[in-house]
Structure formats: structure tokens, C-alpha cells
Amino acid sequence: MKKDIAVNKRTAGSGSEIVSIETDVLVIGGGLAGCMAAIKASESGVKVTIAEKANTLSSGCAGTGIDHVWGYIPEVHEPMGWTIEDLIEDHTQIIARGLINKELLYLVASEAKDRVLDLEKFGVNFRYKDSKAPGKFRIVRQFHSVPTTWNFDGVDLKIKLTREAKRRGVTIINRVMVADLLVTGGRIAGALGVDTRTGKQYLFKAKAVVVSTGRVNRLSRTVTGVWGNHRVPVNETGDGRAMALRAGVPIINMEFFGPPGYSIGNFELNLGSPRNTVQPAGSVVGPKGEVIIPRTYFYDWDKLGREKVNPSESRRRFEAERVLPQSWSQLHDKGGGPFYLDLTGGTAQEINYIKWSISNEGKGSFFLDYLKKQEKFDFRKDKLEWLPNSRELAGTAASGLLVNKNLETEVKGLFGAGDDVGGVPWMCSPGAFTMGWRAGEMAGKAAQKQKSFAPIRNESVRSFKQLCSQTLRNSQGVDWQEAELALQNIMDYYAGSVRSELMLRRGVERLRDLKQKVSFRAANPHELGRCLEVRSIIENAEMIMGASLERKESRRAPYGFYRADYPEQDDKNWLAFLAVKLDGQRFTFSKVPVK
């Protein structure tokens, strides 16, 4: 049964209605991590509310589906002689090249299986009669040198998570964009938001808050020039990082805003490169059919337990087949290309498997429909061109809030989850599932211990109300599209694939000038939400520019970070997370040792 929450409405001058909500745990963002956090927090017997600026039925990176989750699978890996420590080493060396938070990585790897079992209870299908793998799972290689990734029916995952959250009494408030955190005396007090349809402003009073707003998008112009044609959802605009920064939380890895990756051209979606949704048959070939990335094969499950894995040798072979995202542009600059994703060597069984996998991955069903109806495409004989995608601050960067092993930030009662947490490259869906669960558990416990709400400063509420009111009444201001384009032009020029001190310093000046001069205008609450998003994007861009200036080395693999004036990787001084923190109106930087 749905739990009641305290809701009081009042008019706060100028006709602006403020909705005041008291909840023990507030989850900001209702994607995978947010839903998992809310579901787990509800087990503590506390009032839990999700504030989602879209709709939890289809929000977040998995809003239109996801087909894969990786983790340590004892019934698969123990017979191979492959330990969880081997998985940790694989991810540390292959994915992160040493720059990783191993405590959080262990959390993700060790608890992913438990979360898969939870998802099964929520109605998500992971088992198939035709599978020979233990447990009837479908398991493939993705990030690691042995199969560690479950494929599953995830196209309607968000619908099932929303249903489970509601079943447990979680209150879900959709179409409310939370834009500011409220902190009193170093403790979280709540948050402020606005309904992007009605314009009502929300004051959330909370004893614990989980921030899970996802990745940072729209920092760069799209490759196609079509607004919104990104791999990452357009409304993931770094709101969590921006509001946490203003609340005094250190943010790490912001400098790793990388160069364009390569994938399917013109229709940006997550198909991997190609060790993801387009295996086992997928390979990448050059113009003459020469193989650049070879195809993979299903694991022979009849051999499970008969042969033991040599971890270092399997890692070496896996590494030899990889092509890092930035390598494609390097090959192109040397006169290489065009490149193609080639499935023509696959059997009918393999191609059908890939179609099933794509249909469960984000935007995949739309993509298959487009190929069939508009392109008359046939995977058995046609190839897809491999082209640059738009730049993003996403999986490889591992940017986000600095948290401890319990996902708590330096602000008491404030937790991070999923892609809002920094330190683990390509934690993806298992990071969302496991970190969301842990953050929800700890937030629930924190709320139980907190007997009363922390006091809220009236000036914070007045300031947010004034910001919203001015934006809606400002007939002479700047549209959000203009400001966003100006920001993207600055980022693409001053913080491009090659960076240097003088260019970065000028970029910092240009961003500061943009931020000071922009006075937004919005014709309606929807546009107000977009203006608040662009405010978040600008603040994320400032962190990127400042951190890029501070990190005096290059770290090309896998981050694509290159300083022309510091062209070498310097592990002695820079194998550390770089944290940016707001001190008044200026940034301070510190190195956080790799654990």
C-alpha cells in the first residue's frame, strides 16, 4: 500500500505555489540506481520519495532497455579457477589501467549476482531453456577476459522497477526537476525542485538524500548536428554533480571528458565496440574487408570445469583484440577507414541472438525497426558503417561524487549512487544495481537514526524561488538553446581532444564570462527546466576545464586525456583521482589516492 507523506501547500509571494514535502529518504533521480535505492530504503520502514524530472517508467540510461549486466558468477567462474580477485584485476588493468577505486569495484563485482536474483523476483527474466550455461543464464564476454556478463530481457526493466517501488510504498513524483541541495551545519536537510509542467516549486525536507541523476550530456555538439541525437539520454545533464558541488561535495575525474568514440553512424546507441550487444558474430573491418577487431564466439559450456583459466594469459589475449575508442580517430588520421561493423559471417542462430540482444538494449528496438523499414537492411549480407559518436562524459570517465565505501559523501546523510559516483570506469548497470542498493540501505539507516529534520535556511528557499520567477518573467533574457550552443562551442574549441595550458586558461575565462552574462528566459515551466539543465551543464563544464588545467600529464588509455604541454603519462605524481571542490566562488583541487 502506498504510504502517506506530509504535503502542505502555500503561496510564497508573486503567485508562486510551493509544495512542501517531508520524507525520511529522498532519492533524486529514478533511473536504475534511484529505483534500487528507493526499493532497498523502503525495507528500513521509513518514508521514501523519488523525485524524477522525467518519468520513472522510462527514465535514465536504461529507460528504453538494457540487455547486459556484469559481475562475478561463482557457478561459472569457480570451475574455471577464476577468482573474484582475478575479475578485480581484469577490470583494474583492462578497463581502468590502474586508476580505480577497488573498494567500490569489489562492491559491484561481488554483489551483482545478488542483485540479479533480486531483479528476478521483480519479474525480470534472466533464464532460458536453450542455455547450456549454469543456471540457464545467457553469459558472454564483454569487459573482461572470460565471460562475466549476463544477457537478459531488459527492455521493460524500468516498468518493473517502478512497479516494485510502488508496491513497497515508495512515493514517486515525476516531472519534478531537483536543482539544489539544502545543507545545514554539514548535514543534509533536503532539496529544492520545480515541476516542469506546472511550475510549482517543491521544498523537500529529508533526513537522508540519495543523488542518482546519471551522466553528463550535451557538453558538446552532436556529430550529426541533430539536437538530442546522443547515446546518453538528453536529460542527463550532470544535475547531481552540479548541485553536490554547490553543497560542498568534492567531485572527481571531471577532466576525463574524452574525444568522440566510434559506433553505429548517425543513430547513436549503445552497441559496443563490438564487445557488447553485437556479439558473438560482430567484427569491425576496414574498406577491403581486413579485420580490425575479430569476432567472438559463444563459450563452450561443455568444457566448463575441464580446463582452468590462466588469468594473465587470458588477459593478454583479450587486450590484443581490443581497440580503444580514441584509436579509431587515430587510425582515421593516418588515412585509415572507412570502417564497418560486420555480422555477415554469423550463423542464423548468432544473428538472431544479436537481434534479440539489440532489441533489449537502449533504443535498440527503434534501431532495428529503422533498419528493416527504412534501410531494408539485412545483417546476413549488409554492413553498418562505424562512425564517430558525440563526445560525452560517461562510462570511461568514471566522474562523479567522491564517496566512501558506504556511498556517503562528506555531507552527512548525503549519498551517491550509480553514474553519479566517481571512481569505477564502466561500472554501468551493475554499478547502478549494487550501489543503488547499498546507498538505499545506508540512507534508510541514517534516516532511522536522525530523529528530526535539520533546519532549512529561508534564504536558500527564497533564492531558488527568485531564480525560477526571474527566469519565467525575463522577456529580455537568453533562450536555453542559445546558451547551450555557446557552451558547446567553448568546450569543443578550448577543451578538445588536444588540450594545453593557454587554451584551457582562455576556456576558463570564456566560461566565466558566459556564466556571468547569461540571464535566462523561459516562456513556460518546461523551458525553465531546460534553463536549469543548462545551468548544470555550464557548472560541469567549469569543472572539466579547471580539472583539465590542473592535471599536468596525459592519460590517453583509456581516458583519451591528452595535454600537448604534458604529453607523457606520469604515474609517479598523477596516479590519483583529482577532486574539485567549491570554496566560495573558486575551485580548490586535491589528489585522492587510489585505494
Q: What pLDDT, in 10s, does the model give residues 456-465?
A: 999 999 999 9
Q: How far apart are CA 207 and CA 227, in angstroms?
A: 38
Decide if 144 contacts 318 (C-beta within 8 A). yes
Whether the full predicted model's pTM is greater than 0.75, yes or no, is yes
Which residues, at least 6 apart from 73, have a Cβ–Cβ distance to it below 8 Å? 113, 134, 137, 139, 148, 150
* Cis preceding linkage at 430, omega within 30: no
Does 140 score more than 70 pLDDT?
yes
Q: Quote the pLDDT of residue 63.
A: 93
Q: Quote the pLDDT of residue 10.
A: 35
pLDDT digits 0-9 by tens, 59-97: 999 999 999 999 999 999 999 999 999 999 999 999 999
Q: How far apart are CA 69 and CA 194, in angstroms?
A: 33
Q: Quote the pLDDT of residue 5.
A: 39
Which residues, at least 6 apart from 363, have a Cβ–Cβ distance to it below 8 Å? 64, 65, 267, 269, 270
Residue 590's H or E segment, with its range, is: strand 586-593
What is the rounded average pLDDT of the residues 93-104?
96
Strand-pairing partners, residue 291, are: 285
Position 62, amino acid: A
Mean pLDDT, the chain, integer: 93
Does 30 score more than 60 pLDDT?
yes
Share above pLDDT 70 across residues of the chain, in percent, rounded to a whole number:
96
Q: Band of the pLDDT at 269, cuts 50, 70, 90?
A: confident
Q: Quote the pLDDT of residue 528.
A: 98
- Please state which of the ranges 64-68, 215-219, 291-295, 574-578 shows the lowest mean pLDDT: 291-295
Does 8 score more than 50 pLDDT?
no
First to last CA, the chain: 43
Q: What is the largest CA-CA distance in the chain?
A: 75
Q: How far apart are CA 182 and CA 124, in angstroms?
A: 36
Q: Which of 225, 546, 241 is closest to 414 using CA atoms?
A: 241
Q: What share of the chain is helix, strand, coil (3-state, %, to 5)?
A: 35, 20, 40
User: Is 266 or 127 the better-scoring residue by pLDDT?
Assistant: 127
Q: Which of 393, 391, 415, 389 is closest to 402 using CA atoms?
A: 415
Does 206 score more than 50 pLDDT?
yes
Q: How far apart are CA 111 and CA 491, in angstroms?
A: 38
Phi then psi for residue 511, to 5 deg, are: -65, -40
Does 541 score more than 80 pLDDT?
yes
Decide if 24 contacts 148 (C-beta within 8 A). no
Render 287-298 in DSSP notation, one character per residue.
TTS-EEE-----
Q: Band of the pLDDT at 7, cuts 50, 70, 90?
A: very low
Q: Quote the pLDDT of residue 2.
A: 39
- The cell for 334 is 593516418
Does 139 score more than 90 pLDDT?
yes
Q: Which of 62, 392, 109, 160 is closest to 259 using CA atoms?
A: 392
In the chain, what are the domain boundaries?
A: 68-153+261-388, 458-581
Q: Quote the pLDDT of residue 4.
A: 37
Residue 330's region, left for phi above 0, alpha for psi from -120 to 50, else beta, is alpha
What is the rounded average pLDDT of the residues 381-394?
89
- The cell for 94 is 583492462
Render 163-208 in DSSP notation, one character per residue.
HHHHHTT-EEEETEEEEEEEEETTEEEEEEEEETTT--EEEEEEEE
What's the CA dihedral at 489, 494, 496, 499 to 10 degrees?
180
Decide if 151 contacts 359 (C-beta within 8 A). no
Q: How far apart are CA 354 and CA 364, in angstroms?
A: 11
- Other beta carbons within 10 Å of 326: 22
Q: Quote the pLDDT of residue 276.
A: 74
Q: Quote the pLDDT of residue 355.
A: 94
Specify the pairing of strand 201-211 against strand 414-416: parallel
Which residues, at least 6 apart from 104, have a Cβ–Cβ distance to it below 8 Å? 403, 405, 421, 423, 424, 427, 435
What's the CA dihedral at 396, 416, 529, 191 to 10 degrees?
-160
Q: How far apart are CA 125 and CA 119, in angstroms?
A: 8
Q: Quote the pLDDT of residue 332.
A: 84
pLDDT digits 0-9 by tens, 160-193: 999 999 999 999 999 999 999 999 999 999 999 9
Does 378 score more than 80 pLDDT?
yes
pLDDT digits 0-9 by tens, 342-362: 999 999 999 999 999 999 998
Instruction: Spell out the long-range contacts of 315-318 with Cβ–Cβ below 8 A and sequence spacing 24 or more.
Output: 315/89, 315/90, 315/93, 315/94, 315/145, 317/145, 318/94, 318/141, 318/144, 318/145
User: Is 229 or 446 the better-scoring residue by pLDDT?
Assistant: 446
Q: Quote the pLDDT of residue 325.
A: 67
Q: Quote the pLDDT of residue 1.
A: 38
- The cell for 571 is 604515474
Does 124 score more than 60 pLDDT?
yes
Which residues, at least 6 apart from 353, have a Cβ–Cβ distance to it below 8 Å? 280
| Chain position carrying cell 540479479 | 116
Q: Quote the pLDDT of residue 394.
A: 85
Q: How far apart are CA 496 and CA 259, in angstroms?
A: 7
What is the rounded average pLDDT of the residues 274-303?
88
Q: Band of the pLDDT at 16, cuts 50, 70, 90?
A: low
Query: Is the domain defined by 458-581 classed in CATH 2.40.128.20?
Result: no
State whether residue 276 is helix, strand or coil.
coil
Q: Band of the pLDDT at 273, cuts 50, 70, 90?
A: low
Q: Quote the pLDDT of residue 152.
A: 97
Q: Quote the pLDDT of residue 322.
A: 78
- Please state which of the ranges 19-23, 218-222, 385-389, 519-523 shows the lowest mean pLDDT: 385-389
Does 284 score more than 70 pLDDT?
yes
Does 324 score more than 90 pLDDT?
no
Q: Quote the pLDDT of residue 595.
A: 78
Burial 568-587 (b: 16+ CB within 10 A, else e): eeeeeebbebbbbbbeeeeb
